[in-house]
Amino acid sequence: MTKPLFPSAQDAEAAFYDAFARGDLEAMMAVWADDDDIYCVHPQGPRLLGAEQVRESWRQIFASGDRLTFRLASQHYLPGMMMAVHSVHEHITVAGDPRGRHQIVATNVYLRTVRGWRMVAHHASPSPAPAATTEEPSQAAPLLH
């Protein structure tokens, strides 16, 4: 299979989340670099190193048959000429899951290669629920760094 050319890190990221939502292993791995230095950390999981471990983890996730819907929010991009780092909040809904929406914070790292932009790292963690505040806002002077 010939891998598609992703002209920007945003294009690679869009393909990543599309493959994730469709449960398409080949499309998912087409986003990733073919490098043994890639790594992936799924929520509350171990660090997976290299293309073989990353591929197997996605195969297991997709084998569950769960259909996911993603809404990305709070996207923050650190662009570079050769590398880009994206921090996103993933709001994930699993079809038929009575628990509702899952909130994940993820960091995606992309590398510019001769074949376009490729993912080299994905690190996802559960996002804590926003804390409810009952106190009045502080009137103290703001701190500067």
pLDDT in tens, 31-44: 999 989 999 999 98
Mean pLDDT score of the chain? 84
Longest dimension (CA), the chain: 61
Q: Which residue has the tokens 């002209």?
A: 7
User: Per-residue pLDDT tens for 46-95?
Assistant: 999 999 999 999 999 999 877 777 787 788 888 889 999 999 998 878 77
pLDDT value of position 134: 43
Structure tokens at 82: 């050769």
Residue ranges covered by each domain of the chain: 9-126
Structure tokens at 34: 């073919």
Q: CA-CA distance, 3 to 131, in Å (whole number)?
A: 43
Contact by Cβ (8 Å): 1, 88: no
Structure tokens at 124: 């996802």
Task: Measure CA 11 to chain center.
Answer: 13
The CATH architecture to which 9-126 belongs is: Roll (3.10)
User: Per-residue pLDDT tens for 97-111?
Assistant: 777 678 889 999 999
